[in-house]
Structure 1
């Protein structure tokens, strides 16, 4: 006997794969580097399983990752909850259409969802870093010009 399909299921995707899905209208990546066609289904998880999945399969990736929150009732594809080791995981037997995705949240390098505040702070830090470099270059140019005068 398998567990009931949860009200929400989750899938970690590369941001590039998700952008491609928005363009084509279907998401077909089973797991990083493996297609739905190759695997036969798309791996998903319950919310409490997301961190473990991230730690096992995605922690070493140097790509932007997002967490898709999926409403199984909106999927045209079948969802089966199946045993994997000592646990069960939801598997999506077909493509995921973007209309079934309720939320797309960026993941940080530890596998935690990013908040708008943390994204804003990161963006601000990058802009401040660029500004400091520009100010340093301008200062050096001014000093060189003054010495030549």
Structure 2
């Protein structure tokens, strides 16, 4: 999976971008056309960018969670002082935004923390679904094999075949769910 990048946006700019099919605000008061790229951050840089540029925004803000592999534009890590920041050299299509997290006006870290907690919960849920499907597959495969062994035709492959099939079905179900969320 590609490492996500983040961009703080006004709710109004994001809503307009969804209608237009492209997000083109670089940062506070600057467009992609004026700046040449859209400012973004890595996970650990979000709080600093918020505090530096958006703390006194005076309007609802959201954090765009962007999957760079879904972008049509190039992403470069450019030096800014002693750090590097991801910059998007083109518009951000709404399909590249995998989550939109409302930010509190006071810039409290709870809003950013909730993003990471939610991502962890989703990943754990995916694991539980795949493991449950694998176990169910093994149980069903074992039951089927036991029935066939009584007839002398299956051997001892039922549990293993069920485990493999259940795991494959679990992974397929998760992949289908993720495609639907896009």
RCO comparison, higher one (Cα < 8 Å, 6+)? 1
Aligned counterpart, 2:57 = 61
**Among 40, 43, 54, which residue is 1:47 paired with?**
43
TM-score (norm 1): 0.71
TM-score (norm 2): 0.58
Q: Give the distance between the partners of 1:94 and 1:14, measured in 2 at CA.
A: 18
Structure having the higher strand fraction is 1
**Among 97, 105, 108, which residue is 1:109 paired with?**
105
1:3-30 C-alpha deviation (Å, 9 max, x unpaired): xxx6100000000000000100000000
**Among 3, 9, 15, which residue is 1:7 paired with?**
3
Q: Over the residues paired in the alignment, what is the CA RMSD in angstroms?
A: 1.3
Aligned counterpart, 2:80 = 84
Number of residue equivalences: 110
Q: Give the distance between the partners of 1:85 and 1:12, measured in 2 at CA.
A: 20
1:74-105 C-alpha deviation (Å, 9 max, x unpaired): 00000000100010000000000000000000
Task: State which structure, 1 or 2, has the greater radius of gyration over its C-alpha atoms.
Answer: 2
Structure having the higher helix fraction is 2
Give every structure 1 segment of 4 or more consecutive aligned residues whose post-TM-superposition deviation is greater than 4 Å: none
SS in 1 for 2:85: strand
Aligned counterpart, 2:68 = 72
Q: Which runs of 5+ in 1 are unaligned?
A: 1-5, 116-149
